[in-house]
């Protein structure tokens, strides 16, 4: 959809959505496409849709509801908690992004047992991104659902669960599960197994840590024959690349096909301001080519930059405004970038917050980033990218203490994980104050625990009490526990 994320599409698609004379299927397709665009509907418009008594409009209001609007977030939670609502499945689906708290995970897990298979499928898909460890058992049960689509969605979600329990249960399904799902069992099993193999190979040269890890891994050795086969006979995949910028594949006739490369543009002495404005004023131009930076923005004078800034900020095309953020950073145009940080379109705000880390420290940018970081819609990688930029602009003697406080109290797992890495680099001694998090229940996954244990090893922090952690069923956590236990033995000796 990025290729066709054209601001001109929103109005006609919205018109189709709101046309009650059209079929429900056509209107639903328009709704789904709108959900993939950078739409600009307002909270008032979404409220109007919800109060319309038109099922198509009401469903769309749920799909595009924003977490930052208290009324909308409450509505989603209410519908997701009411299995009898005809919009229950839509609300469960709306919880896929931006609702990481435990109470929302419980609603999604409960929906895996709904009588309607379409709701169960949406519940399994909604758990795909958050991967909460508390959903592991319910997803394993859903992998045996009599509805094929539900089982597939559950198996897809389980691809990210790297635990002994999941691997053993998947192996059981491979050996005695439903024949029509065998390919899916194998695919998920292999996906999890690859993570297991990565950890296994990591310890081949550390005997004490390896033996401890091996002991924890029992009884997985019964499937080691598959492990070796997976390594020695990988699937034939003609799409493998060398990982470079100009990757290619060799065909059966020895001809070569370039898979992807960095676009090149003819060098110009200096395109005129008129030419640039003409280029970015035509949304029919190849929009993807804009992503790679057609122009060297540094060659323009202050007056030319001022003219371009005025044009970019006034553009109705949010893709143009988004790309302008890169130019504003090169010009160190803080006021212009601040306008994009506060842009009404999420895609523009997000990119502006991301590139703000390359701008010279600025108090106004710092304040805006702080506000966005604490905004209810700042979740997942958007939150961590905003945090990265905020740190650049907030540098000072009190920053490390703020980072520690945020690590201990922020409810977003990705933020805690990022701060473990950041604080370890900046002030590893201060990170020791966060080690009690090792004994707390995971917000979603065991990644924060794994990050803390990893930093204990990398930065030789005091070894925490490992005994309470030994029951954690996670490959990476146990990998680090094995190393720490082995290091403790060396020190004792």
Q: At 285, is the pLDDT very low, low, confident or very high (cuts 50, 70, 90)?
A: confident
Residue 256 has φ and ψ, to the nearest 5°, of -115, 135
With respect to residue 197, please indicate whether it lies within any of the assigned structural domains.
no
With respect to residue 340, please indicate whether it lies within any of the assigned structural domains.
yes
* Residue 250 DSSP SS3: strand
pLDDT higher than threshold 70 for residue 47: yes
**Ranges of H-type helices in 53-163:** 55-63, 70-80, 88-94, 102-111, 117-126, 136-142, 148-158
* Residue 372 DSSP SS3: helix
**Strands 247-250 and 256-260: what pairing?**
antiparallel
pLDDT tens, position by position, 403-428: 999 999 999 999 999 999 999 999 99
Strand partners of residue 247? 260
352 and 369 in contact (C-beta within 8 Å)?
no
Predicted local confidence at residue 208, as pLDDT: 85
Tokens at residue 428, please?
């590893």
pLDDT higher than threshold 70 for residue 279: yes
pLDDT higher than threshold 80 for residue 228: no
**Residue 469: which domain range?**
273-492
pLDDT higher than threshold 50 for residue 248: no
- Displacement of CA 492 from its chain's centroid (Å): 42
Q: Find tokens 């950073």 and name the residue.
A: 329
With respect to residue 337, please indicate whether it lies within any of the assigned structural domains.
yes
Average pLDDT over residues 33-62: 95
Predicted local confidence at residue 214, as pLDDT: 82
pLDDT higher than threshold 50 for residue 174: yes
With respect to residue 378, please indicate whether it lies within any of the assigned structural domains.
yes
pLDDT tens, position by position, 307-356: 999 999 999 999 899 999 999 999 999 999 999 999 999 999 999 999 99
Domain of 457: which CATH number?
1.25.10.10
Tokens at residue 149, please?
């689509």
Query: Could you tell me which of 413, 488, 486, 409 has the C-alpha nearest to residue 451?
Result: 413
Predicted local confidence at residue 236, as pLDDT: 45
Tokens at residue 45, please?
């418009």
Instruction: For the chain, give percent helix, strand, coil, nearest 5.
Output: 65, 0, 35
365 and 341 in contact (C-beta within 8 Å)?
yes
pLDDT tens, position by position, 190-214: 888 887 776 666 655 568 888 888 8
Domain count, the chain: 1
Q: Which residues lie below 8 Å from residue 453, measured CB to CB, with a gap of 6+?
A: 438, 469, 477, 480, 481, 484
Q: Rounded CA gap, 186 and 9, in Å?
A: 41
pLDDT higher than threshold 50 for residue 268: no
Residue 445 has φ and ψ, to the nearest 5°, of -120, -175
Predicted local confidence at residue 320, as pLDDT: 92
pLDDT tens, position by position, 423-464: 999 999 999 999 999 999 999 999 999 999 999 998 888 899
Q: At 31, is the pLDDT very low, low, confident or very high (cuts 50, 70, 90)?
A: very high
44 and 64 in contact (C-beta within 8 Å)?
no
With respect to residue 482, please indicate whether it lies within any of the assigned structural domains.
yes
Phi-psi region of 132 (alpha: psi -120 to 50; beta: other; left: phi over 0): beta
Handedness of CA 381, 383, 389, 394 (dihedral sign): negative
With respect to residue 399, please indicate whether it lies within any of the assigned structural domains.
yes
Question: How many Å is the Cα radius of gyration of the chain?
Answer: 26
Average pLDDT over residues 112-134: 97
Q: What percent of the chain has pLDDT over 90?
A: 70
Predicted local confidence at residue 230, as pLDDT: 45
With respect to residue 406, please indicate whether it lies within any of the assigned structural domains.
yes
CA torsion 77-79-83-88 (nearest 10°) is -110
Which is more confidently placed, 296 or 121? 121
On average, the pLDDT of the chain sits at 87
Q: Rounded CA gap, 223 and 171, in Å?
A: 8
How many other CB atoms are found less than 10 A from the CB of residue 456?
24
């Amino acid at each position: 959809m990025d290729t066709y994320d054209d601001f001109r599409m929103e109005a006609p698609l919205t018109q189709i959505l709101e046309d009650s004379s059209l079929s429900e299927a056509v209107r639903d397709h328009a709704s789904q496409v709108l959900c993939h665009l950078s739409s600009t509907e307002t909270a008032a418009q979404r409220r109007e849709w919800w109060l319309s008594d038109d099922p198509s409009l009401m469903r769309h209001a749920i799909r595009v509801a924003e977490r930052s609007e208290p009324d909308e977030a409450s509505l989603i939670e209410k519908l997701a908690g009411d299995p009898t609502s005809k919009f229950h499945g839509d609300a469960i689906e709306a919880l896929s992004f931006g609702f990481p708290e435990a109470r929302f995970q419980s609603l999604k897990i409960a929906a895996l047992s709904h009588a309607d298979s379409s709701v169960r499928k949406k519940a399994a898909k909604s758990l795909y991104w958050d991967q909460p460890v508390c959903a592991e058992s319910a997803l394993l049960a859903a992998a045996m659902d009599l509805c094929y689509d539900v089982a597939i969605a559950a198996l897809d979600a389980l691809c990210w669960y790297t635990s002994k329990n999941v691997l053993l249960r998947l192996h059981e399904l491979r050996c005695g599960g439903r024949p029509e799902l065998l390919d899916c069992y194998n695919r998920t099993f292999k996906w999890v197994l690859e993570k297991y193999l990565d950890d296994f190979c990591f310890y081949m040269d550390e005997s004490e840590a390896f033996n401890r890890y091996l002991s924890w891994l029992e009884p997985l050795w019964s499937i080691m024959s598959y492990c070796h086969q997976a390594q020695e006979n990988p699937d034939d995949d003609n799409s493998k690349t060398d990982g470079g910028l100009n990757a290619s594949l060799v065909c059966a006739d020895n001809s070569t096909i370039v898979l992807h490369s960095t676009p090149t543009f003819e060098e110009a002495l200096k395109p005129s301001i008129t030419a640039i404005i003409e280029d970015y004023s035509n949304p029919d131009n190849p929009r993807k080519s804009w992503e790679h930076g057609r122009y060297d923005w540094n060659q323009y004078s202050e007056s030319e930059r001022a003219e371009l800034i005025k044009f970019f900020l006034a553009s109705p095309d949010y893709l143009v405004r988004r790309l302008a953020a890169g130019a504003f950073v090169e010009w160190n145009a803080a006021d212009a970038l601040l306008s994009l940080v506060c842009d009404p379109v999420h895609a523009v705000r997000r990119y502006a917050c991301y590139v703000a880390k390359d701008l010279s420290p600025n108090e106004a940018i710092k304040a805006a980033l702080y506000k966005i970081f604490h905004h209810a819609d700042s979740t997942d990688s958007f939150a961590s990218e905003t945090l990265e930029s905020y740190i650049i602009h907030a540098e000072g003697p009190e920053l490390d203490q703020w980072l520690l406080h945020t690590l201990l109290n922020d409810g977003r797992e990705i933020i805690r994980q990022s701060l473990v890495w950041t604080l370890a680099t900046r002030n590893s001694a201060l990170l020791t104050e966060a080690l009690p998090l090792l004994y707390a229940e995971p917000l979603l996954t065991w990644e924060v625990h794994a990050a803390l244990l990893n930093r204990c090893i990398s930065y030789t922090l005091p070894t925490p009490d490992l005994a309470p952690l030994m029951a954690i069923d996670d490959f990476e956590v146990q990998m680090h526990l094995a190393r720490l236990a082995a290091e403790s033995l060396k020190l004792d000796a």
